[in-house]
Amino acid sequence: MTTSRPQIILDCDPGHDDAVAIVVASHTCDILGITTVAGNAPLDRTTYNARVLRHMLNLDVEVHSGAGRPLVVPPVFAGYVHGESGLDGADLPEPTRAVDGTDAVGFIIDTVRAHPGCHLVVTGPMTNIALALRSHPDLGNDLAGISFMGGGTFGNRTPMAEFNLWADPHAAQIVVNSGLPLTMAGLDVTHQFQATPPRIERVREIDGQLAAVLSGLFDFFSANYSSRHDDMEGAAVHDPLAVLALTHPDLFTTESRFVDVVTDGEHTRGMTVIDRRTLIDRPAATCTVLVGIDADAAWDVTISAIRAGSANR
């Protein structure tokens, strides 16, 4: 299997699946920093949760908080999926290290400048990234690309809109139209990667604090999904796929597509428009869209990451 160890900034809103993304990234990437955004929960809580993950992983990376609300639309959180804490389902340890800064946008700009060729991995609303690109339009010169979780040919917040892009559609439109190399882990692929009961059992069998906490988080997350859907065996573990797309590209099948984001409409706000036409004069592709995954192999990588992280503390 082809693997690489990219340098990344992980911009997230933990969130159960963001937590898994942090764990997977800690094992497979050089994390240059973790930045947080309001999304699944208010900013103070997503930032706290990122610190909890850093603590459990004994990870020496900076955590910077960023945007507390979307660019234009009012903030709406996802307590109905992740609980009011953003990480309901487990007793979380108290993190000992404080947040390193409250200017995630400035941190992203400085860190990208200092590490040309790094990637942004975005697993929450895209507010911080849009603000960085808007204030420094040439930032992309130093970026290898942006891998994000969001979008898809169907929605979860509305029939057509996935939560991250719905939560800040104006930010998403800026990022998706940035001209930078994009990789999109949308719902089409993330719904193929479910935390089924046998997969959660494999987490529970691992010794250590991290695995114990994660198995509680998976139980909560999957019970929530199973109770709210009539076709799912467990939660869709969306966010780590934006990491694995960079580190383990062989796990995926992809298509190159032109993608845009709609910013308004009751049903269409935050919807991705993915041009799948075969017309010869269709717009040039702007995005690598993940469409299929070897879910068992991806879970194996996730288990390896949890095992490694559980041995850290």
Catalogue the active-site residues. Answer: 238
DSSP string of 58-85, one letter each residue: T----EEE--SS-SSSPP---HHHH-TT
The one of ligand BDR, Ca ion, none whose footprint includes residue 162, by CB under 5 to 8 A per kind, is ligand BDR
- Binding to Ca ion in span 102-141, by CB under 5 A: 123-124
Whole-number Å distance between alpha carbons of 111 and 136: 13
Footprint on residues 14-43 left by Ca ion (CB under 5 A): 15, 18
171's CB contacts (< 8 A; 6+ apart) are: 70, 71, 125, 126, 127, 129, 130, 131
For ligand BDR, the binding residue among 6, 15, 216, 270 (CB under 6 A) is: 15
Using CB under 6 A as the binding rule, whether residue 123 contacts ligand BDR is answered as yes
Residue 272 binds which one of Ca ion, ligand BDR, none, with CB within 5 to 8 A depending on kind? none
Largest CA-CA distance found in the chain, in angstroms, rounded? 57
List 25, 50, 78, 176, residue binding ligand BDR (CB under 6 A): 78
Q: What share of the chain is helix, strand, coil (3-state, %, to 5)?
A: 40, 20, 40
Rule CB under 6 A: choose which of 11, 188, 219, 239 binds ligand BDR.
239
Q: Which of 28, 40, 47, 147 binds ligand BDR (CB under 6 A)?
A: 40
Q: How far apart are the first and last CA of the chain?
A: 29
Q: Is 203 in the site for ligand BDR (CB under 6 A)?
A: no
Which sign, positive or negative, has the C-alpha torsion 236, 237, 239, 244?
A: negative
- Spell out the residues 6+ positions from residue 99 whose beta carbon is closer than 8 angstroms to its own: 47, 51, 63, 64, 65
Residue 166 C-beta: closest distance to ligand BDR, Å: 8
Binding to ligand BDR, residues 256-295 (CB under 6 A): none
**Residue 164 near ligand BDR by CB under 6 A:** yes
- From the list 54-62, 96-104, 158-166, 254-262, the region that binds ligand BDR by CB under 6 A is 158-166
Is 270 in a helix, a strand, or coil? coil
Q: Which parts of this chain interact with Ca ion (CB under 5 A)?
A: 13, 15, 18, 123-124, 239
Q: Which parts of this chain interact with ligand BDR (CB under 6 A)?
A: 15, 17-18, 40, 78, 81, 123-124, 149, 156, 162-164, 238-239
